[in-house]
Structure 1
């Protein structure tokens, strides 16, 4: 029962209900529009009216594409305005730019430190530089200071205090300038930022220049704060900068990054060490009356921590954990530890905050200390708790107990129930301990367990997102994997762990060569789906070297074939063909006919893009014959689609239709709904070219249905483009405009360059 007020509102909710049923339910409506199921449900049940500036524009784009015979509504704009009027809402406010309502504002700041102390002058200066900039340029500040002085804490503190100033969101990236695993590159950061604004990075050209330019376009006119943490050099920053003066950029670095000041007008904010009074305040927050102003042991302790918040917190928590031990004992012990420290190669250990980390490490219970040491084996500063359990050789419950102790000691930070973060100084110290000669054997075992965790969890994730794909037979392992129940959970885990896995593929240890290429191979399905092409190429280039060094020709062949696909997706077909031909020769030598067929199909895709359709057909037919012999139905469906597309391009309409229909039907039978949608779209354009408008319309509608089942949007947009072309061929300009308007909105939201084609079609329509 609805709670509608007037007649217009009752009609509106009933029409939305009919539309949702026509689309196949709330989930389909949500997938097509990007608006949540709950909003659609409330709209059809009469519980709420969609918001004019946020949810209604995307919903309207979907509703306008449904025939009026279904919805009983000729003009959605008119009906919606009547609903607003009847409900007493204002109807004269201007509609915001589409880019401003594409998605919810991202808020990516990680948690700040506990017990923030001081920095009033620096916070005030950041206010002047970023919250109220004086000119029309980009407001940018570089927070700089020595390691452990609290640069990140200051940046996060200011950003959280001024979050309301940036109504369109906060983007954050740790660029890992001094990380054990090496600095992050802009290519790693941009895909996540684009997704945060509702853009599918797979639809944006892969090169850094294009993605950087797209980010600037996306941020134009928005009030967004960009926080770039732990920056090593200017080259990391420049591709991530906005052009709009409405945005602000906050950078932290051990260096002053004068290039940003010279080229972009950045202002430097220097972070000094804490004063003795501020250091005392921080210690008192943790230790209370155990520290007294003017007392010798307190003064000595403060002096030994050198005004660094990181060392003060570590020392305070170590002291706090032993309430019965006099403070003087800790002071003397810390002095002794400085003198005997040998693991750190530093001329003046007293000036290195890792010395305090070492002292705290020595105070840990043996089993907790071992877990801490093993963290140095993980290349990333962010670590999944299950990965910690694997690398430490303990169960998850034990790992969690150990990590809670380390969190209290400020040696790690528990970000949620699944992950921890390490300060790069702490991580580097743990890595130096792990790599010391005394730890060589246990570290090797720990590194093997870490690979086993990622291999087996990635294999589980791959099964969820690509259930019909060829599987590697991995060696058995006693390491516990992360529990993943759905493809969404699998994709989320892969998104989060990707940088660590790519870094593992790059680790140059001969004993791990097999694991390196296998891990890269298992990531191929994820790479193909999300088009993380930079990481795809990088991981597989390392994997090829690993397979070659180990003499594993099958591993080399499979890795080269996947590397060729990555180069093809990046647009370098010459590099792709070079890899395919080496792989084909290896598969032929090994008698692996399935792998041999795969390289033929890959080469056919290159020929198809080059316009060499006859050669593409020859290669696909050869591959198809082998696939039918071995019975790999997934590959049969995909190859049939490629074959049909080539035949369609040559005008072989009958055989093209036969093969595309076979591909669509087999894909649907196998649950490969995205592939079914692609084949259906191919059929739609084929039928349209041969003048079968009605059949083309049915094929495009079929593509929309299949794409909705896959959870996708891109093939739906392509089908709407096709439906618009069908309408135009029949002289139905208004209907064509509706389809193209809806397609354009979806493609723009995804950031697809195909939007330009639809925009051009819309512009070419004659006025009614």
Structure 2
């Protein structure tokens, strides 16, 4: 008898068409987990965690075995269906396509890869028809709630793709009602807005389409502080211009309206390759990866392997440009530099770069590799994207960069065959051999011109001398084109002499042929250009600006630009945009070899010192403009910000390289200079890399003050990410150093920061102890602002522990100090806290007025972090004044900002606040959703108080016990 299972709604099982009794909710949750992982083992620990979460009873394992036994009996009548115990855990042995979730995913994959549109629409219609409601309806655990949201995101992405297909088919009229309803539920989604605008326009409602654009533009400005994306703006312009191409929706070709899948559509592919020649068989093989084979879904991983210089990257980039329209959600690219012994790209850094390109704000990028990989997979869920991983050296370097969704295609290039990618990940390998002789000669003809046609036999000899490797052929062709007075035969003879010498040293290695061509080209360089080429091999980054090249070589910018032109014409350096230059990894290695051979170590060190000092000076100048100590500095803030953004990877590389190779002082100074910028908005990945390098460099120097400052900065990064235990350890190290050094002011700050970590951990006794010690330090130093800050924090501890009288006394003391200092922002915050204690209408109104003025001030200053905090404070005041709708609106705005800046601890608090406000307003379902999210997030970061608040909001019986464990009377929202 056949079996069918469903999770896209209430969890259900049918055997021979009849519903099976799955028992109570907990038992159904066990089946739900097994159905999601159908065919894959789930360990006992995973089952317990996913079914109970932190509420698991002492005998959870015994109960689990009982549930599994009952479920076995329930499905015993079905053919080829069972629940088996295997070495890796328990497995539901059933055809995955018997589960509606897996049928949905397969149909969506088919819809995205099928032509024509009419057939694709049939697949997507069948996929969406499988949904019966919210996944796992009626079941509530933290894991199921998180999975439910992920599946709803998948459905939304499928609906957007389905809408695009119907629009191309001209079915805009029937689609219009559904689009209008969807936009109401997703008012900030730009792709959905474009679809509605196009449908309205085609239905003759141009004015309504214009109004829809104005509506989302206002919403984006209010909620996110951003403007519509390029695709939305361009569609609006075409609608206003009544572009005739918008009026007709024909099946072939489809209407080409730019429709980014989300607000961020990465387009990271390098420029297409000039004069690309041959490789028709390999291109056809790559094309087949997009076409499903019968009922099989398209491939998700393709591996291009071959020797160095054989043209793997060129082929991958050429094909990626050819098929980019098949990936409407964008293309990601990274050169992993897997064969660079000094500077391979770390997996964590590659993930951080991808997350940044996908729209994840720098401070929201998790610090750990596994966490980044998980976030990366989540961001790619439902997106149709191409991921090009260039120059990979191992499976380990690639595996964390693989998406978790079948909607993406990963193209990997490597000199290694990477058998693990084929055996474990099902990759299709395309082996790239030397160019056939005819194609090699044809490439020379395209690059050199008529001389090849006049000397075909000699051209063939030249191709053979270049080992038929595209990289070597291009270098040889550039040299031949530049030396028109020399025949091809003479060039071939000259090359033979150089190759002979190198082959004697490196016989049997195909790369010896490449090095021979490099040598041939290098030997023909002027001495000054040759020196520049060698020194460029020392640069620790991927690309370099002409100004940095001038510093590296000790020349002027004009001279550097001239010599770079010589190297570009010799194809030893590639010119990029904005005065930047790069090198192929083989050429970089060759240049570094030459530098080690011809340039003495003091000369090499002096060149890198000039380069690093250039980066330090540029960073200091930019930071003085962006963050002046007193009066605004002369200079263009936008230009300063652009300089740091362009050089950020090189600055991070300089810090890590400098810390590892003896430029310790420079690494410390550069890291300290950059920290404020990176902390305020730069990627956390680079902030952590730079700060960790600063700690190591300071230790190497024996500079304890610098070590303490770097540790304090690193603790802040950990705290922002919710890594509270690591933050506490790092702050304690900084505190011990400051205490030994007698730096009382810095010690007070470290005490305050450490207290804040214990506050988040729910250890209020230790938090108060650190706050009191900080307060005493500030008192001895005569620092009124510090004393006020410590008083506020101690008052918050008192309020949370239920001593509101003592809290009010401390807050009034702090208010007096802030008023005397003229600190209006802090004054408004303390007034709001006092108002929340009194709850008198007049006090609440005064607090709201002060906070509203603070909100205007921080918005004008562009301080998003402060804006988020003021919004949550103002929401608390509004809530106590029974202005619930306004409070909910403010909290939603605050959550948008908190997620952008990556403040996970404050996000958990705001989620609980919103849940309480929605609950007070009678929206039970909305309140529950917020508390569920808060529970998951608070559990991840270890915030015990917010966990207790979330449980309380969800009506959990043990919430009172959790509050009692914290010595807190109840959820007070402090």
Shorter-chain TM-score category? Answer: 0.7 to 0.9
Distance in 2 separating the partners of 1:579 and 1:312: 54
1:130 lines up with 2:285 in the alignment: no
Q: 1:27: which partner in 2?
A: none
Which stretch shows the higher mean deviation, 205-214 or 317-326? 205-214
Structure 1 counterpart of 2:390, from 212, 218, 229: 229
Which segments of 5 or more consecutive residues in structure 2 lack a partner in the other structure? 1-186, 195-205, 226-238, 241-245, 248-258, 800-806, 925-974
Q: 1:60: which partner in 2?
A: 219
1:644 lines up with 2:805 in the alignment: no
Distance in 2 separating the partners of 1:396 and 1:710: 37
Distance in 2 separating the partners of 1:212 and 1:559: 27
Shift of 1:57: 4.1
Question: In the superposition, relative to structure 1, how do residues 133 and 156 fare at CA in structure 2: closer, same or farther (>3 Å)?
Answer: farther
Distance in 2 separating the partners of 1:750 and 1:568: 13
Distance in 2 separating the partners of 1:65 and 1:417: 30
Shift of 1:341: 3.7
Question: In the superposition, relative to structure 1, how do residues 434 and 643 fare at CA in structure 2: closer, same or farther (>3 Å)?
Answer: farther
Structure 2 counterpart of 1:615, from 745, 765, 769: 769
Question: In the superposition, relative to structure 1, how do residues 684 and 532 fare at CA in structure 2: closer, same or farther (>3 Å)?
Answer: farther
Q: 1:3: which partner in 2?
A: none
The within-5 A match list for 1:42-57 is 56-57=215-216
Shift of 1:452: 0.8
Which stretch shows the higher mean deviation, 619-628 or 458-467? 619-628
Question: In the superposition, relative to structure 1, how do residues 660 and 591 fare at CA in structure 2: closer, same or farther (>3 Å)?
Answer: same
Question: In the superposition, relative to structure 1, how do residues 586 and 728 fare at CA in structure 2: closer, same or farther (>3 Å)?
Answer: closer
Shift of 1:225: 1.7
Deviations 1:494-550 (A, max 9, x none): 5343442243234323xx232233223323223322364444444444444433444
Distance in 2 separating the partners of 1:199 and 1:685: 33
1:655 lines up with 2:807 in the alignment: no
1:103 lines up with 2:263 in the alignment: yes
Deviations 1:19-76 (A, max 9, x none): xxxxxxxxxxxxx9999xxx9xxxxxxx99887888744733766999xxxxxxxxxx
Q: 1:688: which partner in 2?
A: 836
DSSP 3-state at the match of 2:568: helix
- Conserved? CA contact 1:315–1:356, under 8 Å: yes
Deviations 1:193-240 (A, max 9, x none): 333333323135433333322222222222222222112222333333
Which stretch shows the higher mean deviation, 388-397 or 188-197? 188-197
Question: In the superposition, relative to structure 1, how do residues 733 and 606 fare at CA in structure 2: closer, same or farther (>3 Å)?
Answer: closer
Shift of 1:643: 5.3
Question: In the superposition, relative to structure 1, how do residues 428 and 64 fare at CA in structure 2: closer, same or farther (>3 Å)?
Answer: closer
Distance in 2 separating the partners of 1:136 and 1:262: 18
- Conserved? CA contact 1:517–1:547, under 8 Å: yes
TM-score norm. by structure 2 comes to: 0.62
1:503 lines up with 2:656 in the alignment: yes
Distance in 2 separating the partners of 1:34 and 1:653: 44
Q: 1:197: which partner in 2?
A: 358
Question: In the superposition, relative to structure 1, how do residues 56 and 116 fare at CA in structure 2: closer, same or farther (>3 Å)?
Answer: farther
DSSP 3-state at the match of 2:411: strand
RCO comparison, higher one (Cα < 8 Å, 6+):
1
Structure 2 counterpart of 1:624, from 778, 796, 799: 778
Distance in 2 separating the partners of 1:253 and 1:65: 41
Question: In the superposition, relative to structure 1, how do residues 440 and 685 fare at CA in structure 2: closer, same or farther (>3 Å)?
Answer: same
Which segments of 5 or more consecutive residues in structure 1 lack a partner in the other structure? 1-31, 40-46, 67-82, 91-98, 470-481, 630-635, 670-675
Question: In the superposition, relative to structure 1, how do residues 668 and 685 fare at CA in structure 2: closer, same or farther (>3 Å)?
Answer: closer
Distance in 1 separating the partners of 2:721 and 2:449: 59
DSSP 3-state at the match of 2:661: coil
Which stretch shows the higher mean deviation, 682-691 or 266-275? 682-691
Q: 2:446: which partner in 1?
A: 285
- Conserved? CA contact 2:310–2:434, under 8 Å: yes
Shift of 1:575: 5.2
Q: 1:766: which partner in 2?
A: 922
Q: 1:256: which partner in 2?
A: 417
DSSP 3-state at the match of 2:289: helix
DSSP 3-state at the match of 2:301: strand
DSSP 3-state at the match of 2:332: strand
Shift of 1:428: 0.8
Distance in 2 separating the partners of 1:758 and 1:168: 35
- Conserved? CA contact 1:597–1:626, under 8 Å: no
Structure 1 counterpart of 2:602, from 441, 445, 453: 441
Q: 1:458: which partner in 2?
A: 619
Q: 1:404: which partner in 2?
A: 565
Q: 1:735: which partner in 2?
A: 886
Distance in 2 separating the partners of 1:468 and 1:594: 19
Which stretch shows the higher mean deviation, 196-205 or 312-321? 196-205
Q: 1:338: which partner in 2?
A: 499
Structure 1 counterpart of 2:669, from 515, 518, 523: 518
DSSP 3-state at the match of 2:389: strand
1:309 lines up with 2:473 in the alignment: no
Distance in 2 separating the partners of 1:703 and 1:101: 36
Q: 2:401: which partner in 1?
A: 240
- Conserved? CA contact 2:364–2:684, under 8 Å: no
Distance in 1 separating the partners of 2:558 and 2:636: 14
DSSP 3-state at the match of 2:571: coil
Distance in 2 separating the partners of 1:683 and 1:192: 42
Shift of 1:188: 1.2
- Conserved? CA contact 2:364–2:721, under 8 Å: no
Distance in 1 separating the partners of 2:443 and 2:716: 55
Question: In the superposition, relative to structure 1, how do residues 384 and 65 fare at CA in structure 2: closer, same or farther (>3 Å)?
Answer: closer
1:374 lines up with 2:535 in the alignment: yes
Q: 1:390: which partner in 2?
A: 551
DSSP 3-state at the match of 1:523: helix
Distance in 2 separating the partners of 1:650 and 1:343: 80
- Conserved? CA contact 2:771–2:793, under 8 Å: no
Question: In the superposition, relative to structure 1, how do residues 639 and 422 fare at CA in structure 2: closer, same or farther (>3 Å)?
Answer: farther
Distance in 2 separating the partners of 1:141 and 1:667: 63
Structure 1 counterpart of 2:274, from 114, 121, 129: 114
Shift of 1:155: 1.4
- Conserved? CA contact 1:199–1:750, under 8 Å: no
Which stretch shows the higher mean deviation, 555-564 or 107-116? 555-564
- Conserved? CA contact 2:735–2:750, under 8 Å: yes
Distance in 1 separating the partners of 2:820 and 2:429: 62
Question: In the superposition, relative to structure 1, how do residues 111 and 685 fare at CA in structure 2: closer, same or farther (>3 Å)?
Answer: farther
Shift of 1:423: 0.8
Distance in 2 separating the partners of 1:188 and 1:155: 22
Question: In the superposition, relative to structure 1, how do residues 327 and 204 fare at CA in structure 2: closer, same or farther (>3 Å)?
Answer: closer
Larger radius of gyration: 2
Q: 2:855: which partner in 1?
A: 704
Shift of 1:638: 7.8
1:214 lines up with 2:375 in the alignment: yes
Question: In the superposition, relative to structure 1, how do residues 699 and 260 fare at CA in structure 2: closer, same or farther (>3 Å)?
Answer: farther
Distance in 2 separating the partners of 1:516 and 1:551: 14
Shift of 1:261: 2.7
Structure 1 counterpart of 2:592, from 425, 431, 435: 431
Distance in 1 separating the partners of 2:208 and 2:641: 29
The within-5 A match list for 1:554-569 is 554-569=705-720
Distance in 2 separating the partners of 1:514 and 1:731: 57
The within-5 A match list for 1:454-493 is 454-468=615-629, 486=639, 488-493=641-646
Which stretch shows the higher mean deviation, 385-394 or 591-600? 591-600
